[in-house]
């Protein structure tokens, strides 16, 4: 009963380093999303995907790239980490846009610190 799994849970990076956050879902959802949560800002959409092989920009895409090579996985990459990217990152998935009786399901988050 895994749902949405995010890896890793915590990470500390130095400015300029790169890393990839992995999101995996086992619910056969078409739609997947990456959000960041910052104090006083709520969740903001970084990138999203409406199906395997497709990605699109969200509200705050700069400095991030994504890939959806397999339906169950959605990867978020930071090519050159900056302190402004210190945040908690959440992945979510849903059958459609996540309304009605099929809302978005979230992972438990990745806490990322950039020094």
Partner 1 sequence: DQQVKQNSPSLSVQEGRISILNCDYTNSMFDYFLWYKKYPAEGPTFLISISSIKDKNEDGRFTVFLNKSAKHLSLHIVPSQPGDSAVYFCAASGNSWGKLQFGAGTQVVVTP
Residues that bind partner 1 (CB under 8 A): 4, 35, 40-45, 48, 58-59, 90, 92, 96-100, 103-109
Contact 34, 23 (CB under 8 A): yes
Strand-pair category, 73-78 with 19-25? antiparallel
Distance from C-alpha of 8 to C-alpha of 110, rounded to nearest angstrom: 6
Would you say how long the chain is, in residues? 115
Q: Which residue has the tokens 């999303």?
A: 33
Between 82 and 99, name the residue whose CB sits nearer to partner 1: 99
Between 13 and 48, name the residue whose CB sits nearer to partner 1: 48
Between 10 and 14, name the residue whose CB sits nearer to partner 1: 10
Q: How far is the CB of 105 from partner 1 (least distance, A)?
A: 8
Q: How far is the CB of 37 from partner 1 (least distance, A)?
A: 9
Q: How far is the CB of 25 from partner 1 (least distance, A)?
A: 12
Please state whether 47 falls in left (phi above 0), alpha (psi between -120 and 50) or beta. Answer: beta
């Amino acid at each position: 009963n895994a749902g949405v799994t995010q890896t890793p849970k915590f990470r500390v990076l130095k400015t300029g380093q790169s890393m990839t956050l992995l999101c995996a879902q086992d619910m056969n959802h078409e739609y997947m999303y990456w959000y960041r949560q910052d104090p006083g800002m709520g969740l903001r959409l970084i990138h999203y995907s409406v199906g395997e092989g497709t990605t699109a920009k969200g509200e705050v895409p700069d400095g991030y790239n994504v890939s959806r090579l397999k339906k169950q996985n959605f990867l978020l990459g930071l090519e050159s980490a900056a302190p402004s990217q210190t945040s908690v990152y959440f992945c979510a998935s849903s059958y459609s846009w996540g309304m009605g009786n099929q809302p978005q399901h979230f992972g438990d988050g990745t806490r990322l610190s950039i020094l």
